[in-house]
Amino acid sequence: MVDALRVGIAGIGTVGASVVRVIADKQAELARQCGRPVTVTAVSARDRGRDRGVDLSAAHWFDDSVELAAKADIDVFVELIGGDEGPARASVKAALEAGRHVVTANKALLARHGVALAEIAEKKGVLLNYEAAVAGGIPVIKTMRESLAGNTVNRVFGILNGTCNYILTRMEAEGISFDACLKDAQRLGYAEADPTFDIEGNDTAHKLSILTSLAFGTRIAADDIYLEGISNISQADIRAAAELGYRIKLLGVAQRTDSGIEQRVHPTMVPTASVIAQVHGVTNAVAIETDILGELLLSGPGAGGNATASAVVGDIADIAKSRPGFQHGPVFGKPARELKPYKRAKMRAHEGGYFIRLTVHDRVGVFAAVAKRMADNGISLESIVQRAPETNGSDIKTVILVTHETTEAAVRKAVDAITKDGHLTDKAQVIRIERAD
């Protein structure tokens, strides 16, 4: 029989413990599928005494993850520490330079240093697998890197953060505020004590930057993403979207244009009848549009111990199935040194138009002034609705505009002009609309 694949894991938190448990529980099945046993022989974590609910007695313990990566008697180093610098980066680099395969769930690390790490892996002839870094248990990396060979990807987009999707789902279903939903998400463990990274779109941006590289053969450019989170989404927006036939989702979108690659993360109104609008709760979904296949939608659990562990174990199994002398494919679909520099697309008209909500003083001429500012900036309106105040006697009204195809620059310029005119009582809300076609 082929020797067992020896696995070292750095980071025995929720995901790490789940990986250990799955490998132990599925030992016989993994051996049958991979043609060899898979065993955890070394681990590293900050606290040796913590009860993690799994048996680690047979594993060699390392206090230093870099030492585990470089010196332990292992074939595969699994990084579940997190963070784009420090021990995570140092240990992954050490493992690759030592000629060991690496599996990671660390999207932040890949977004910052993925290309450089890929160059080391390809030079050393080892695998750098990262299925768990994007969309949890959904096999989107394998799909894009292997299954879509021959396809030209034109667009990739999706719901890539379960925390945000959970909050927006509950806001719509229960009519409660963003703050109340966020507190519940933290209580249930869906959101961190400091949720900024999730709710302001950074987590989605890191994942999108990796998908962009896979889709378009470009170097990762996480800092070149238009970024907007969901913290300013209100019940007024949720209700207005529903009345117009839309649902609000935080989407990450990357697409090919004539002038370059467009990357953006922001709240988006999608038609309620569309498939992406039916993705609720902590579920993730990724849509890939290609010239041959058309549109492919992958949906499933986007976070949590079991979902992430499933992806990590799948990556380990792929390594276990490989044999000495096997030529591994490039980390990002193309050799790292052949990835093209990222070229940011020029601003262009957004086909789906925009939803604009304005809270204004209820006085003569405001409605006409708003429409004029839109016309001054070449914005054609599909609809304009003035709502009566919800509180009797209030001198505040809401104006809701839905535009035809126009540019972000035109919309922002018009809104700035309306703000300077002194008509607004609160900050304007602007949300992109994605059509169903």
Residue 341 is assigned to a structural domain of this protein = no
pLDDT confidence of residue 188: 83
| 325 confidence band (pLDDT: 50, 70, 90) | low
Q: What is the pLDDT of residue 390?
A: 58
Please indicate, yes or no, whether residues 283 and 158 belong to a single structural domain of this protein. Answer: yes
Are 145 and 34 in the same domain? Answer: no
Token pair belonging to 73: 């008697």
Q: Domain for residue 344, yes or no? A: no
Residues 288 and 309 occupy one common structural domain: no
152 and 288 belong to one structural domain: yes
Q: Does residue 133 sit in the same domain as residue 146?
A: no
Q: Average of pLDDT values for 186-198?
A: 88
| Enclosing H/E stretch for 271 | strand 260-271
Q: Residue 360 is inside which H or E element, if any?
A: strand 354-361
Could you tell me the two tokens for 354? Answer: 């925009």
Query: 338-368: per-residue pLDDT in tens?
Result: 999 999 988 777 878 999 999 998 888 888 8
267 and 324 both lie in a single domain: no
At 388 the pLDDT is: 65
pLDDT for 327 = 65
- Assess whether 64 and 145 both reside in one domain: no
Do residues 168 and 91 both lie within one domain? Answer: no
Q: How many other CB atoms sit within 10 Å of the CB of residue 420?
A: 10
- CA gap 286, 291 in Å, rounded: 17
CATH of the domain at 76: 3.40.50.720
Asked if 148 and 245 sit in the same domain, the reply is: yes
CATH number, position 407: 3.30.70.260
Instruction: Give a yes or no: residue 360 inside a domain.
Output: yes
- In Å, how far are 35, 94, 102 from 74, measured between CA atoms? 18, 13, 11
Q: Residue 353: which domain range? A: 349-433
> Could you give the number of structural domains in the chain?
3
Cβ atoms of residues 169 and 188 within 8 Å: no
The mean-pLDDT minimum among 251-260, 261-270, 365-374, 380-389 falls in 380-389
Give me the phi and psi of 40, to 5 degrees please: -85, 115
Which pLDDT tens digit goes with each residue over 381-407?
Answer: 998 887 766 555 567 888 999 999 999
SS3 259: coil
Q: Residue 349: its pLDDT value, please? A: 76
Interaxial angle between packed helices 162-174 and 178-187, expressed in degrees from 0 to 180 and rounded to the nearest 10? 130
Q: What is the pTM of this model?
A: 0.93
Tell me whether residue 152 is in a domain. yes
At 192, which CATH number? 3.30.360.10
Assigned domain for 343 exists: no
- With CA atoms as reference, report the closest residue to 198 among 241, 237, 250: 250
288 and 225 fall within a common domain: yes
Q: Per the domain annotation, does 78 fall within a domain? A: yes
Report the SS3 class of residue 103. Answer: strand
If asked whether residues 46 and 112 sit together in one domain, one would say yes
Q: Distance of CA 185 to CAs 166, 303, 424, Å?
A: 8, 13, 32
Q: How far apart are CA 8 and CA 72, in angstroms?
A: 8
The CA-to-CA distance between both ends of the chain, in Å, stands at: 53
In a domain, 309, yes or no: yes
Residue 436: is its pLDDT beyond 60? no
Most confidently modeled of 119-128, 317-326, 381-390?
Answer: 119-128
Residue from 107, 207, 334, 397 carrying the catalytic annotation: 207
**427 part of the active site:** no
- Domain membership of residue 191 (yes or no) is yes
Q: Report d(CA 202, CA 200) in Å as an integer.
A: 6
Do 131 and 146 fall into the same domain?
no
